[in-house]
A and B are shown apart, each in its own frame.
Chain A
Amino acid sequence: MAVDRIAEPWGSRTPYDAGETWPVRVDSYLADGLDPADVDHWAQAASILHSNGDAMDIAVKDGRMVGVRGRAEDRVNHGRLGPKDLYGWQANGSEDRLTRPLVRRNGRLVETDWDTAMDAVAGRTRDLLEERGPSSIGFYTTGQLFLEEYYTLGLVAHGGIGTNHVDGNTRLCTATAAAALKESFACDGQPGSYTDIDHADVICLYGHNMAETQTVLWTRVLDRLAGAEPPAIVCVDPRRTPVAEHATVHLAPRPGTNVVLMNALLRELLDNGWVDHEYVDAHAVGFDELEKMLQDYTVHRAAEVCDVPPADVEEAARLIGTSQRLMSTVLQGFYQSHQATAAAVQVNNIHILRGMLGRPGCGLLQMNGQPTAQNTRECGADGDLPGFRNWSNDAHVEDLARVWNIDPAEIPHYSEPTPVMQMMRYVEDGSIRFLYVSGTNPAVSLPELRRIRSILSQERLFLVVQDIFLTETAQLADVVLPAATWGEKTGTFTNADRTVHLSEKAVDPPGEARPDLDIFIDYARRLGLRDKDGAPLVKWSTAEEAFEAWKECSRGRPCDYTGITYDRLRGGSGIQWPCTDQSPDGTERLYADGCFWSHPDYCESYGRDLVTGAPVEPTEYKALNPQGKAVLKAAEYLPPRELPSADHPFQLITGRTIYHFHTRTKTGRAPELQAAAPEVWVEASASDAEQLGWKQGDLLEVTTPRGAVTARLRITGVRRGVLFLPFHYGYWDTDAGHEPDGRGRAANELTLTDWDPASKQPVFKTAAANAMVVKPAGGIR
């Protein structure tokens, strides 16, 4: 009998022991009671509803998608699929897909043809370039397009139009992953591998509710826990998540205090001699500064500031300090918090101090939130230059100009590419007048929505939205371009452990919808973008040609794809970069030999001041790290910018649920997923509820100085003084359309406009809030 994967998201156990291979378990779901024999053909793909990169085949019958099946031969999931993988594909066939371009006429969006829409987009771009220059043009993309599309967009924006304003919504989910890796290793790239779960004796999850964000990876952990020699689990999370329930030690720090906790753990490692000094001496710089910084961070201080039991901090440090094969993963609990990069970097420091890098079981993963976020970063569509090139290294910019056959001066590099929150500021002050949003929904996902809506609604802004549904953001647009999505176009993408997958076109897109790649190329051609010899700037028209061009751009850089072809990705497993002639099967773990990509001439980044965000100057970096070692970067604690007060006594954190992805545009249209989590809710602790007389199911109004949200109360194991709201719920499926009609539903009505100066990732985890019952659960009480 089939397992109900809504009720049992991780499915049945296939236990395995330390060092063994994870057994295969093939999960599948076919619609309408269809049988595999009914399927016309299967198209190879991988999931784009989370960052895990679960490989799957799409079942096609009569030209329609009818189901999915996990790929047994793939290294990532060994056949398994999560609930979003199993049911999310149904959104592709929704009745309300965008099928024709829309333009705004007399205040209303009306259908038009592609020529009219694209001429409007290219025309406005050209006008602004003449009137106000490239800095009046901005691009905001996503973590859900394909590599080929990001690379093309990066080329068009940086190399063709010459604007510095390019970012992705990866800024909201993985910017800190990249920033933390750049601080410690001077380069992006996950050192670890998912296979480290097979070997680890201690697994630490820092602000990472893996059970809900990467269900299949958590299934792997559960299977280890069910086998012989199970690993110990250390969980840092203010909520009692499924991960916390399996933890040997669960630390639930007060929001906004991660740096104190991490520093105390590091100090325990030093005090107890749990440091591989030989490794540190040979392969790292910065030990003395770190040791000095840690003087002030005792377990006692952490217990006080973070409000955690001192014995638990000591026990966590003992597990970490005495482990033989230590694996760590980090996610939004750190990335979307106050001092995001500073805290995430301390996890890297643990691995450097213990010499736990590049060996089986010693995996360090600064996780990604979105499925193709790694590519947004690699390809230069999010505030980095393509191929992990260093924007403050002139030789790297010249090399990129060589690849693109343009003059180096055409690539703006006087400053780093502009992060989205700063772009919104420029839109607000009117210096950006054209914003091209692809595959993302800032009117729900950015903080302080009232402000964002007002910025995006300005008359003087020309807003282009390229999407598959009429999202909240699309409703504010001047032009809406209907895109094809996963399963309707071909391309590659890379997951959080550097595994590259091919995702093939299975069915035709609906109506006139077109692949994002085709739209970007069309845009470039209408603008007449040329290289320095007068040839078209974008020299490809198919996804595979774009991939081949990207390979040349990546040649010799850390994320080297030159050994991968579409054909090699067909049929077997995904391949981990770097993949070259020397390493044709890819590279399972980085930094195996204690060698890093951090040499001043080669590295992607010289780092930043973790408090001010000021970039480290090249000369400073050269003095600090002339030989290209790992960098132990110390960080002082700063209190959060918004603290609870008498009026707003709670700390509000926002987050995710297993059944939805981002702003629910797809998962809200998959019947099983929508039914599993149809409405927003708010979580509070039993002790707060008891004190305030709240009952399960009461309708609460949660308020901050920015707005209000009403939601039903769930009493859960969240820590005292903290409220939790899932951020997925917007307004597209309400009467009001794109904004609250009376009662707010989007968690971002409440969040504050504040970000980590180092990674520029917005803070979603420390707003001061109040809450009161507006309607009791059982009627009048």
Chain B
Amino acid sequence: MKLVQTLRSLHGNKVGAAIEELHRSENDLAGALLNLSDQQKVDHEIFHVARDIARWSQLHVRRLSEVGRDYGLELDPEPQDEAGLFARVKQKGAGLGGRFHEPTLLLLADLRHIHRMAAGVSLDWEVLAQTAQAMKDTELLSVTQECHPQTLRQMRWTNSKVKETAAQIMVTG
């Protein structure tokens, strides 16, 4: 325990910065997933699943805010939610009852964007997990072990949705 505290005080700034960065990018990812859901109301599986897995990023934001306290951070435990999104200007795509094929091109672009965001988040969790191991910070390590697999599932989902829809979107119509 003592060792952990020493290491935290020695390297705290760098680790704190990494936690802060991840807290921000998880928040962005939650927001992007909710935004995607909002825009794809006519594509029901995207609409529902994007919401379901935005919850994972929201949970990660809370866990990071908790573990951030050990590094002297005061991160907002309240993640990005829908209230914040309603203010945004929405892209079209959900409009006109979904009777047009071209907006689905936007879907591909969004999925691609979110996949890359999630990949970034995943790498950040990797960095944090390695750091936690080196610092023998079991608390931080268990947060990474709890959260990182869900980030990987978010990545696999976007990847699979691209795979599933790309041909229909690109070739037909």
Binding site for B on A (CB under 8 A): 132-133, 135-136, 164, 414-416, 421-422, 425-426, 428-432, 454, 609, 611-615, 617, 638, 641, 753-755, 757
Contacts and interface: CB of A to CB of B under 8 A. Distances in A.
Contacts of A757: 45, 48-49
A289 to B, nearest CB: 10
B167 A415 contact: yes
Nearest to A429: B101
Contacts of B45: 421-422, 613, 755, 757
A638 B163 CA distance: 25
B91 interface: no
Interface of B: 42-45, 48-49, 51-53, 55, 97-101, 104, 153-154, 156-157, 159-161, 163-164, 167-169, 171-173
B173 A609 contact: no
Contacts of A136: 172
Given A135-B168, A136-B172, A425-B43, A613 B160 contact: yes
Given A135-B172, A429-B101, 14 more contacts: A135-B167, A135-B171, A164-B167, A425-B42, A426-B168, A430-B101, A431-B101, A431-B104, A609-B157, A611-B53, A611-B153, A612-B49, A641-B51, A757-B45
B47 to A, nearest CB: 9
Q: Most B CB atoms within 10 A — which of A135, A136, A454, A614?
A: A614
A164 B164 CA distance: 11
A614 B51 CA distance: 15
B53 A612 contact: yes
B58 to A, nearest CB: 13
B146 to A, nearest CB: 10
Given A425-B43, A430-B99, A431-B101, A612 B153 contact: yes
A614 B153 contact: yes
Contact of B164 (A415, A428, A611, A755): A415
B55 to A, nearest CB: 8
A421 B45 CA distance: 9
Contacts of B44: 421, 425, 753-755
Nearest to A611: B52
B98 A428 contact: yes
Contacts of B157: 609, 612-614
B48 A429 contact: no
B156 A609 contact: yes
A613 B153 CA distance: 10
B48 A641 contact: yes
A135 B172 CA distance: 6
A28 B48 CA distance: 49
Contacts of B100: 429-430
A133 B167 CA distance: 11
List of 7 A-B pairs having minimum Cβ-Cβ separation, nearest first: A612-B157, A614-B160, A135-B172, A614-B156, A431-B172, A614-B157, A429-B101
Contacts of A609: 153, 156-157
Contacts of B159: 614
Contact of A133 (B98, B169, B171): B171
A613 B164 CA distance: 11
A180 B79 CA distance: 34
A613 B49 contact: yes
Contacts of A753: 44
Contacts, number: 87
Contacts of A430: 99-101, 173
B117 to A, nearest CB: 16
Contact of B99 (A414, A429, A611, A612): A429
Contacts of A422: 45
Contact of A615 (B55, B99, B101, B160): B160
B96 to A, nearest CB: 11
A429 B49 contact: no
Nearest to A421: B44
Contacts of B49: 611-613, 757
A133 B159 CA distance: 24
Contacts of A613: 45, 49, 157, 160
Contacts of B101: 429-431
Contacts of B51: 641
B173 A414 contact: no
Contacts of B164: 415-416
B167 A414 contact: yes
Nearest to A638: B52
Nearest to A451: B97
Contact of A431 (B53, B97, B168): B168
A621 to B, nearest CB: 13
Contacts of B98: 425, 428-429
Contacts of A164: 167
A132 B173 contact: yes
A414 B97 CA distance: 29
B38 to A, nearest CB: 14
A753 B41 CA distance: 10
Given A133-B171, A612-B53, A428 B99 contact: yes
A609 B156 CA distance: 9
A609 B171 CA distance: 28
Contacts of B104: 429, 431
A611 B42 CA distance: 20
Q: Most A CB atoms within 10 A — which of B52, B104, B164?
A: B164
Contacts of B154: 612
A414 B52 contact: no
16 contacts: A133-B171, A135-B168, A415-B163, A416-B164, A428-B42, A428-B97, A431-B169, A431-B172, A454-B97, A612-B49, A612-B154, A612-B156, A613-B157, A638-B55, A641-B51, A754-B44
A414 B163 contact: yes
Nearest to A760: B45
A614 B49 CA distance: 11
Contacts of B42: 425, 428-429
A136 B44 CA distance: 20
Contacts of A617: 156
A755 B46 CA distance: 11
Contacts of A614: 153, 156-157, 159-161
Contacts of B167: 135, 164, 414-415
A425 B44 CA distance: 9
A735 B169 CA distance: 41
Given A135-B167, A425-B44, A609-B153, A431 B99 contact: no
A10 to B, nearest CB: 40
Given A429-B100, A613-B160, A754 B172 contact: no
Contacts of B163: 414-415
A164 B154 CA distance: 25
A435 to B, nearest CB: 14
B82 to A, nearest CB: 14
Nearest to B51: A641
Contacts of A133: 171-172
A619 B168 CA distance: 26
Nearest to A422: B45
B17 to A, nearest CB: 31
Q: Most A CB atoms within 10 A — which of B44, B99, B154?
A: B44
A656 B85 CA distance: 41
B41 to A, nearest CB: 10
A507 to B, nearest CB: 44
Q: Most B CB atoms within 10 A — which of A136, A422, A429, A615?
A: A429
Nearest to B173: A431
B63 to A, nearest CB: 15
B76 to A, nearest CB: 24
A254 B66 CA distance: 33
Contacts of B53: 611-612
Contacts of B99: 428-430
Nearest to B104: A429
Contacts of A415: 163-164, 167
A425 B53 CA distance: 22
A611 B50 CA distance: 10
A430 B173 CA distance: 8
B100 to A, nearest CB: 7
Contacts of B168: 135, 426, 431
